[in-house]
């Protein structure tokens, strides 16, 4: 932690917020005695600072930079260093005193026009301005290309070749496949909502030790190609501030950048510790349609399951009015909770309570009583008045739009009328936008937010059209909220972080088809934000936007790996409860990660404060910035090798296994920079620089290595969750180092003055009290642990000459972990073995896998390895591994397949269950299919195409028998008028036509067909007719000739309220799922619908249906006697939606088997 005294200058103006204004003289001129100045020769003008020389070739104003050793850092452009519209600079004349501190230049363009350029040097920076333009113009300043480069805020996550991007991002923007920026061209870098909300033109070149930025509120232009390095803006009358940071030292570069952005009015808020506690977002569990009881019960579920939450966000639905309708309120219906029933109200989402938040004080008390901060969603746009086409409704919106308009607090067009945003994510219809450059408007807004009575805000504005080119408009508003004591989750900002944390845009479960569903986008997005100077980062909540079932095998793998990834970032938060996962081992691992991150809070917050004080992204540092002289770090982050690594504070190297291969990857090549590194979980010791090839990282561990300063400061909790003190962990990494720590008030230092790491000879002294401090040595990692008192300084001394505190294996394990046992139970199948001497961990490999896998399938430091419940068939071996290598493999053991094709086989558009024939995969497409926002039968996304003739094929391996073949696709009014399904069966092919526009959201039978076990079964959909053809899954259900004994067989899932359902050959009429506090899927767009028990529109007609022989009323069986619209607590799985095991037992009890007899 580095201490720094900063003076912030906030510049506000009426044209934008913050306005880029003239800089203080201290930034424009070098301090007294600095070696800066300007000299001239016949062909050049040379501007010098302490760490650089800027040479301007007069012909073409071609400027470049060299360091003190004469090495080129940013070479001059080969043609011209300045372009105005299509005119290149031709000649340069120095018009200021040749020995002046600032160079004033007249640059003549090749069209004959002249512009004036000012070059302002300081000891380590240069600022360039361009004036005297004839009118609004496109102006570019440029050098020759340089690299590698990193940064550009949110735009650093965008792929090359998209200079004029659309919005919103999914479907318009491709995710960048690599962290490095060479190849990017952006002609309109500005806030456009969605994935374009943290706006920065800052790029750092760590190999050269330099960086650059353009501060502007207009249409910014950036390019880094094989021909140029460009910064500019379009439709401007001047370029006020292009800065080059030329210190030659990356840390100094970030300090200079921080000073520059503050001087331009882009001020960082000092983060509070609260937002680095474990968090929860309602959207992650409940999506848009939150209501008070669901929020309270979900939060209480986390607390009951031992998650020490510190904050929670309710981003939507708390305002009044019909949810999802244009007349509903907004986040700016200040203080107007939806706490009063509105008779006859119809929400777009059926089944929501009316009112949704009947007792806000009770909600606030739940948070306050459990020391949780309550944050609400916040936006700076308000509904436009009807005269401007808006949906403003005083009943639900209150008088606030009129107040703001009358006072002139809204952004205005040239004629003085409010600027109208015609398209935004929310609210629906046109909007007005608060003028952040007006201090009175900001004060009014902050004052109005007091009416909500909460602790802070998740700022989440998304404005799409038109471009406002006011990227800093959000900064003063959020800074003012923070100054008022509010917590801030920042999404929209320019250059600085005017709040506590910055959140990347939504992460959605998927494998990379579109921007938000690309797991490989997340590390690139985060690390280029970090490279832009923002280290206090939040990667979104674990699991991403709601959708798939928590028991879907692929989603469980995603959730687990996402939890590991997020745990080694500054902020860890959740939406869905991890205890709902269908694998108990995953649920426990996620909980342990949460507890670890909670314990690490003092260490994380210290790194965050370090970044705030210095400008250096200490909490999450890209390796090219942490190790700028190590060329091996420059290209690690990419979507092919997926070596997603960063420094997590000064002592941890994060190495998660993550990416679009989340459901198969178990290992990565791990690069260790120079120095000593200890695997945090296994204690294996390595010395860098080196690459650990195919290093296995299991799901039961923290994916990190300890190195760097080698010190962690953690906090302790007792069994009740109360904080009991703090602990320092000093790892045997390096002697002669000093770690500085602060929590913002107390400051401590840990000095490694020891000569070695022999625990018997090492001493730890509290320098504040002079007392010797007792310690323990961790028997895995060798870390020295002792009680840590904030404000005290500690010194290690002695230690002999030992290189490590524990014996380090000198050879790979010599024994194999035989015998390996297969243990099967209702919880799943696992492997177990006896411990092997000198093993750090064990690697499990498979061949002949049921899931078509081969090689490493997992690793653990324990002597058991859970395989799960399904898709686990194969031949397994286990090896003991340490830092010297792997020992011999165990004798192979065979686990029988769990899916043999004899039962129900459901083939999804995600390609499950997989087939091991690459020429005939489980799912294949031809044409232009895309992911749809409409959910499939299992909650994952369905697929669609508008192109006639496109095909989708599902293939499965079945036993030789007859199957009912059914298809599932989502229902929508724009679906195709006709598609053709072709069933490939033992007798040949059969075409079945279907009108999708009239059906969907149900399993629809194509008929019964015989299949062989020698040829795979397949179904092909061919798109046709008008409208959108849709796909999701195909199900093969064995057709049984003789009815089974009542109560046996497999119940197939019902996805509509009323339909015939086949139960192993029997047909049961009018089956309906229970609806208590939960949901079923109605025909129409994919929504989850809560249907109270006893609802006359649904439940009573079923109970009274004349054609039914009997009614199995699951509502009554599972209802809470005190609230019949909810599940009884003992029958609630935890999400207030799905039944628990006890509930399933109860359902079995109420079934009268006699009623099922033929």
Banded pLDDT at 1111 (limits 50, 70, 90): low
Out of 784, 808, 832, pick the residue that ends a domain: 808
Whole-number pLDDT of residue 1041: 45
Which of 877, 895, 913 terminates a domain? The answer is: 895
The pLDDT assigned to 1043 comes to 37
Kindly tell me if the per-residue pLDDT of 1065 is higher than 60: no
* 870 and 969 part of one domain: no
Residue 1073 clears pLDDT 90, i.e. is over it: no
- Range among 397-401, 850-854, 1040-1044 rated most confident: 397-401
pLDDT greater than 80 at residue 412: yes
Q: The domain spanning residue 1021 has which CATH number?
A: 2.60.120.260
* pLDDT tens for each residue of 100-152: 889 999 999 999 999 999 999 999 999 999 999 999 999 999 999 999 999 99
The predicted-structure confidence for 221-271, as pLDDT tens digits, reads as follows 999 999 999 999 999 999 999 999 999 999 999 999 999 999 999 999 999
Residues 6+ away with beta carbon under 8 Å from 337:
318, 319, 320, 357, 360
pLDDT of 3 higher than 90: no
pLDDT digits (tens, 9 = 90+) for 583-636: 999 999 999 999 999 999 999 999 999 999 999 999 999 999 999 999 999 999
Q: Is residue 161 a contact partner of residue 276, using CB atoms and an 8 Å limit?
A: no
Which of 322-326, 810-814, 911-915 shows the lowest mean pLDDT across its residues?
911-915
Does residue 224 sit within a domain?
Answer: yes
- Going by C-alpha positions, the residue among 760, 805, 757 that lies closest to residue 778 is 805
Chosen domain end from 239, 263, 287:
263
**Strands 239-245 and 210-215, sheet pairing:** antiparallel
35: pLDDT strictly greater than 70: no
Question: Is 336 a domain residue?
Answer: no
Instruction: Please provide the average confidence, as pLDDT, over all residues in the chain.
Output: 89
Q: Do 749 and 788 lie in a common domain?
A: yes
What confidence category does residue 15 fall into, taking pLDDT thresholds of 50, 70 and 90?
very low
Average pLDDT estimate for 344-349: 91
Q: What is the pLDDT of residue 563?
A: 98
Please tell me whether residues 801 and 851 are part of one structural domain: no
Strands (E), 434-550: 456-459, 463-465, 487-490, 493-494, 501-503, 537-538
Model pLDDT, residue 1135: 46
**372: in domain:** no
Q: Helix (H, G, I), strand (E, B), or coil: what is residue 403?
A: helix
**CATH assignment at residue 825:** 2.60.40.10
Confidence class for position 579, pLDDT limits 50, 70, 90:
very high
- CATH code of the domain covering residue 70: 2.60.40
- Comparing 364-368, 445-449, 822-826, the range with the smallest average pLDDT is 822-826
Confidence of residue 1119 (pLDDT cuts 50, 70, 90): confident
pLDDT at 1137: 55
Does 881 share its domain with 946? Answer: no
CA distance 965 to 537: 48
With pLDDT > 90 as the criterion, what percentage of the chain qualifies? 78
557-571, 906-920, 980-994, 1069-1083: least confidently modelled range = 1069-1083
Structure tokens at 847: 């061949």
Same domain for 1099 and 1029?
no
Q: Is 62 inside any structural domain?
A: yes
Q: Kindly tell me if the per-residue pLDDT of 1132 is higher than 80.
A: no
Query: Would residue 1101 count as lying in a domain?
Result: yes
Query: Could you tell me the pLDDT band of residue 169, with boundaries at 50, 70 and 90?
Result: confident
What would the mean pLDDT of 475-504 be, rounded to a whole number? Answer: 98
- Interatomic CA distance for residues 347 and 345, integer angstroms: 6
Q: Is residue 1042 over pLDDT 80? A: no
> Are both 787 and 861 inside the same structural domain?
no
pLDDT digits (tens, 9 = 90+) for 694-741: 999 999 999 999 999 999 999 999 999 999 999 999 999 999 999 999
Entry field: residues in the chain: 1158
| pLDDT average, residue stretch 74-86 | 97
Domain-embedded: residue 101: yes
Indicate if the pLDDT at residue 290 is higher than 90.
yes
If pLDDT is split at 50, 70 and 90, which confidence band does 686 have?
Answer: very high
Residue 442 lies in a domain: no
**Can you give 18-77 as a three-state secondary structure string?**
CCCCCCCHHHHCCCCCCCCEEEECCCEEEEECCCEEEEEECCCCEEEEEECCCCEEECEC
Instruction: Kindly state whether residues 166 and 229 are assigned to the same domain.
Output: yes
What span, in angstroms and rounded, lies between the C-alpha atoms of 628 and 248?
A: 11
Instruction: Identify the three-state secondary structure at position 494.
Output: strand
pLDDT band for position 19 (50/70/90)? Answer: very low
Assess whether 758 and 804 both reside in one domain.
yes
Which residue range forms the structural domain that includes residue 91?
26-263
Cβ(660)–Cβ(822) below 8 Å:
no
Whether the CB-CB separation of 457 and 474 falls below 8 Å is answered with no
Backbone phi, then psi, for 857, in 5-degree steps? -120, 0
Residue 175 and residue 103 in one domain: yes
Q: Say which residue, 794 or 911, is predicted with more confidence.
A: 794
Stronger pLDDT, 1 or 15, i.e. the higher one = 1
> Is residue 178 located within the same domain as residue 137?
yes
Number of domains in the chain: 5
**Is 273 strand, coil or helix?**
helix
So what's the pLDDT on residue 9? 31
Rounded CA gap, 916 and 722, in Å? 51
Radius of gyration of the chain (CA): 32
Q: Residue 737 falls within a domain, yes or no?
A: yes
At 667, is the pLDDT very low, low, confident or very high (cuts 50, 70, 90)? Answer: very high
Tell me if 887 sits within 8 A of 816, measured CB to CB: yes
pLDDT the model gives residue 897:
86
For residues 962 and 941, give the distance between their C-alpha atoms in angstroms, rounded to a whole number.
30
| The token pair that represents 1056 in the structure block | 């509509």
Task: Kindly state whether residues 1032 and 916 are assigned to the same domain.
Answer: yes
Residue 730: what are its φ and ψ, rounded to 5°? -110, 115
- Are 49 and 180 found together in one domain? yes
Q: What tokens does 1022 get? A: 């061919």
Task: Tell me the C-alpha distance between 820 and 932, whole Å.
Answer: 45
């Amino acid at each position: 932690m580095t201490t720094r005294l900063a003076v912030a200058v906030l510049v506000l103006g009426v044209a934008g917020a913050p306005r880029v204004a003239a800089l203080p003289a201290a930034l424009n001129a070098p301090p007294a005695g600095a070696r800066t100045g300007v000299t001239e020769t016949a062909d050049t003008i040379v501007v010098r600072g302490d760490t650089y020389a800027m040479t301007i070739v007069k012909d073409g104003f071609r400027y470049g930079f060299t360091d003190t050793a004469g090495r080129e850092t940013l070479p001059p452009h080969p043609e011209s260093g300045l372009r105005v519209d299509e005119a290149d600079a031709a000649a340069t004349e120095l018009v200021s005193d040749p020995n002046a501190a600032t160079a004033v230049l007249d640059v003549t363009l090749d069209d004959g026009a002249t512009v004036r350029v000012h070059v302002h040097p300081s000891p380590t920076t240069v600022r360039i301005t361009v004036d005297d333009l004839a009118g609004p113009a496109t102006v570019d300043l440029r050098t020759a290309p340089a690299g590698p480069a990193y940064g550009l805020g949110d735009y650093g996550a965008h792929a090359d070749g998209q200079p004029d991007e659309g919005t919103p991002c999914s479907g318009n923007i491709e995710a960048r496949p690599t962290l490095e920026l060479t190849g990017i061209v952006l002609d309109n870098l500005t806030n456009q909502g969605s994935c374009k909300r943290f706006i920065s033109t800052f790029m750092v070149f760590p190999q050269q030790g330099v960086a650059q930025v353009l501060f502007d509120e207009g249409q910014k232009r950036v390019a880094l190609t094989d021909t140029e390095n460009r910064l500019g803006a379009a439709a401007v009358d001047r370029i006020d501030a292009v800065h080059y940071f030329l210190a030659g030292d990356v840390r100094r570069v970030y300090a200079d950048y921080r000073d520059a952005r503050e001087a331009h009015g882009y001020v960082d808020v000092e983060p509070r510790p609260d937002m680095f506690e474990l968090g929860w977002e309602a959207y992650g569990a409940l999506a848009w349609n939150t209501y008070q009881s669901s929020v309270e019960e979900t939060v209480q579920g986390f607390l009951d399951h031992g998650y020490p939450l510190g904050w929670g966000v309710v981003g939507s639905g708390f305002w009044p009015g019909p949810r999802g309708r244009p007349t509903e309120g907004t986040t700016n219906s200040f203080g107007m909770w939806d706490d009063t029933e509105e008779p006859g109200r119809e929400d777009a989402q059926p089944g929501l309570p009316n009112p949704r938040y009947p007792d806000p004080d009770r909600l606030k008390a739940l948070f306050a009583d459990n020391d949780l901060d309550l944050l609400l969603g916040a936006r700076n746009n308000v509904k436009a008045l009807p005269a401007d086409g808006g949906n403003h409704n005083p009943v639900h919106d209150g008088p606030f739009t009129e107040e703001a308009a009358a006072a002139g607090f809204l952004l205005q067009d040239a004629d003085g009328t409010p600027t109208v945003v015609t398209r935004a994510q929310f609210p629906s219809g046109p909007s007005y936008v608060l003028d952040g450059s007006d201090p009175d408007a900001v004060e009014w807004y902050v004052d109005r937010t007091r009416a909500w009575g909460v602790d802070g805000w998740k700022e989440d504005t998304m404005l799409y059209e038109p471009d406002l080119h006011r990227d800093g408009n959000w900064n003063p508003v959020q800074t003012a909220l923070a100054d008022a004591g509010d917590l801030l989750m920042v999404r929209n900002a320019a250059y600085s972080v005017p709040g506590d944390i910055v959140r990347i845009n939504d992460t959605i479960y998927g494998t990379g088809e579109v921007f938000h569903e690309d797991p490989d986008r997340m590390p690139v997005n985060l690390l280029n934000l970090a490279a832009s100077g923002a280290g206090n980062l939040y990667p979104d909540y674990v699991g991403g936007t709601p959708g798939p079932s928590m028991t879907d095998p692929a989603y469980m793998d995603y959730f687990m790996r996402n939890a590991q990834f997020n745990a080694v970032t500054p902020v860890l938060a959740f939406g869905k409860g991890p205890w709902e996962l269908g694998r108990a081992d995953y649920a426990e691992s996620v909980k342990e990660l949460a507890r670890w991150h909670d314990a690490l809070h003092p260490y994380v917050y210290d790194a965050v404060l370090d970044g705030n004080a210095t400008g250096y992204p200490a909490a999450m540092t890209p390796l090219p910035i942490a190790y700028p002289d190590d060329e091996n770090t420059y290209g690690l982050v990419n979507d092919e090798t997926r070596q997603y690594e960063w420094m997590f504070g000064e002592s941890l190297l994060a190495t998660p296994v993550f990416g679009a291969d989340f459901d198969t990857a178990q290992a990565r090549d791990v690069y260790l920079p120079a120095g000593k590194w200890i695997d945090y979980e296994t204690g294996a010791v390595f010395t860098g620089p080196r690459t650990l090839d195919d290093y296995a990282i299991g799901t039961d561990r923290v994916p990190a290595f300890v190195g760097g300063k080698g010190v962690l400061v953690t906090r302790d909790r007792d069994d009740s969750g109360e904080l009991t003190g703090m602990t320092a962990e000093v790892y045997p990494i390096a002697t002669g180092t000093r770690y500085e720590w602060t929590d913002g008030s107390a400051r401590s230092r840990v000095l490694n003055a020891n000569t070695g790491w022999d625990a018997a000879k090492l001493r730890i002294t509290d320098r504040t009290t002079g007392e010797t401090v007792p310690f323990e040595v961790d028997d895995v990692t060798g870390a020295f642990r002792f009680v840590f008192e904030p404000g005290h300084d500690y010194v290690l001394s002695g230690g002999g000459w030992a290189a490590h505190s524990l014996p380090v294996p000198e050879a790979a394990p010599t024994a194999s972990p035989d015998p390996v046992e297969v243990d099967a139970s209702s919880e799943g199948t696992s492997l177990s073995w006896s411990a092997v001497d000198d093993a750090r961990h064990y690697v499990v490999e498979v061949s002949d896998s049921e899931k078509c896998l081969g090689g490493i399938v997992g690793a653990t430091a324990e002597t058991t390895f859970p395989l799960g419940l399904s898709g686990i068939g194969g031949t397994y071996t286990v090896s003991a591994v340490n830092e010297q290598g792997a020992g011999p493999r165990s004798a192979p053991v065979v686990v029988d397949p769990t899916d043999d094709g004899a039962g129900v086989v459901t083939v999804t558009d995600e390609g499950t269950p997989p087939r091991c024939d690459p020429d005939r995969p489980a799912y294949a497409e031809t044409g232009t299919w895309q992911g749809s926002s409409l959910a499939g039968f299992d909650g994952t996304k369905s697929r669609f195409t508008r192109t006639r003739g496109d095909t989708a094929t599902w293939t499965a391996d079945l036993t030789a028998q007859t199957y009912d073949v059914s298809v599932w696709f989502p229902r929508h009014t724009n679906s195709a008028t006709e598609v053709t399904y072709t069933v490939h069966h033992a007798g040949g092919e059969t075409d079945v036509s279907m009108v999708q526009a009239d059906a969907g959201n149900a399993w629809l039978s194509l008929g019964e067909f015989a299949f062989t076990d020698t040829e795979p079964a397949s179904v092909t959909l061919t798109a046709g007719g008008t409208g959108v053809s849709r796909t999701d899954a195909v199900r093969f259900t064995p057709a049984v000739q003789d009815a089974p004994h009542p109560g046996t067989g497999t119940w197939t899932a019902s996805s509509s309220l009323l339909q015939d359902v086949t139960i192993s050959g029997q047909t049961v009429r009018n089956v309906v799922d229970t609806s208590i506090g939960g949901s079923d899927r109605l025909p129409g767009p994919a929504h989850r619908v809560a249907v109270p028990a006893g609802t006359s529109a649904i439940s009573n007609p079923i109970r009274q249906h004349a054609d039914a022989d009997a009614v199995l009323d699951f509502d009554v069986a599972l209802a809470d006697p005190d609230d019949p619209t909810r599940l009884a607590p003992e029958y609630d799985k935890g999400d207030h939606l799905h039944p628990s095991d006890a509930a399933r037992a109860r359902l079995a009890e109420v079934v009268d088997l006699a009623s099922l007899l033929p």
